[in-house]
Amino acid sequence: MTAVLLIEDDDRIRLSLVLALEDEGYAAHAVATAEEGLIEQRRVGADTVLIDLMLPGMDGFECIRQLRRTDDVPIVVISARDDTHDIVAALEAGADDYLIKPVAVKELAARLRALRRRSRTADAPALRILTFGDLELRPEAGEVRLHGAEVPVTRTEFQLLCELDDHAGQVLSREQLLQRVWGYDIGDERLVDVHVGRLRHKIEDTPGKPRHLVTVRGLGYKLQP
């Protein structure tokens, strides 16, 4: 059974939501403040956290941020405030979904199922530093290194490389690359060739024999893992 932790200060809503969730087959557990919620989640480790934004003491936003420091648990906000600004802030703080009170329990249950479907895996990815043999890509730093030495690449080249990197090992068609790097719907696909060529000059040692950025004839290009 799925364990849900509800953080909500209003007694009536808290009680009715717990009952409704139990009806839907969840093991629901509720507390009234953000502080209790943090402790409880650390202790119990529910599969999903439901949280109100307006809480006495620590507010919902801060609670979400603190949860997110240590926990990748799916978080759904349930709030009376329907302001776009609040919604964006909550999602940016680390929430996964935002429902406006009064909530339809069926909808809540469906959203919880959808979210759970999506959150199957647990491990959080570390800072990405991707290595392909002697080629290093640091997306956050905007750096490309070959044999440890930084290689100057232009913005377009870098984006192209990142796009290929995001799908390392997969073939991306010129069309896909045009769409993703340039934002074109249609356009001259030779443009991709030209940039791939330029990139190769910089990141391949042996001309004519690309080891990283290989072309798959008739399909596109890919970055060799």
Partner DNA sequence: TCTCGGCATGACGATTTCATGACAAGACTG
Partner DNA sequence: CAGTCTTGTCATGAAATCGTCATGCCGAGA
In angstroms, the CA 8 to CA 30 distance is 7
| Contact between 29 and 6 (Cβ < 8 Å) | yes
Residue 87 binds to DNA (criterion: CB under 7 A): no
Task: Tell me the closest approach of the beta carbon of residue 47 to DNA, in angstroms.
Answer: 21
Using the rule CB under 7 A, is 2 a contact of DNA? Answer: no
Cβ–Cβ under 8 Å, residues 76 and 101: no
Taking the CA of residue 123 as centre, how many other CA atoms within 13 Å lie in the half-sphere pointing to its CB?
A: 3
Q: How far is the CB of 145 from a second copy (least distance, A)?
A: 13
| Cα 90 from chain centre | 15
Nearer to DNA, 11 or 188 (CB): 188
> Residue 129's binding partner, choosing from DNA, a second copy, none, with beta-carbon cut-off 5 to 8 A by kind?
none
182 touches DNA (CB under 7 A): yes
**Residue 39 binding result from a second copy, DNA, none, given CB thresholds of 5 to 8 Å by partner type:** none
**Interacting residues of 34 by C-beta distance below 8 A, sequence separation 6+:** 7, 51, 55, 57, 58, 59, 60, 62, 63
The residues, any chain, with a CB within 8 Å of residue 156's CB and separated by 6 or more, are 181, 182, 195
Closest CB 200 distance from a second copy, rounded Å = 18
Selected from 127, 152, 185, 186, the binder of DNA by CB under 7 A is 152
Q: Which amino acid is at 77?
A: V
- Kindly indicate which of the ranges 40-48, 51-59, 119-127, 155-163 contains the residues binding DNA, using the contact rule CB under 7 A: 155-163
Give yes or no for residue 117 binding DNA (CB under 7 A).
Answer: no
- Which CB, 132 or 187, lies closer to DNA? 187
> What does 206 interact with, of DNA, a second copy, none (CB < 5 to 8 A by kind)?
none
Among residues 105, 119, 191, 224, which is the contact residue for DNA, using CB under 7 A? 191
Please give the C-alpha separations between residue 20 and each of 6, 15, 195, in angstroms, as whole numbers.
12, 9, 57
Residue of 187, 202, 211, 224 interacting with DNA (CB under 7 A): 187
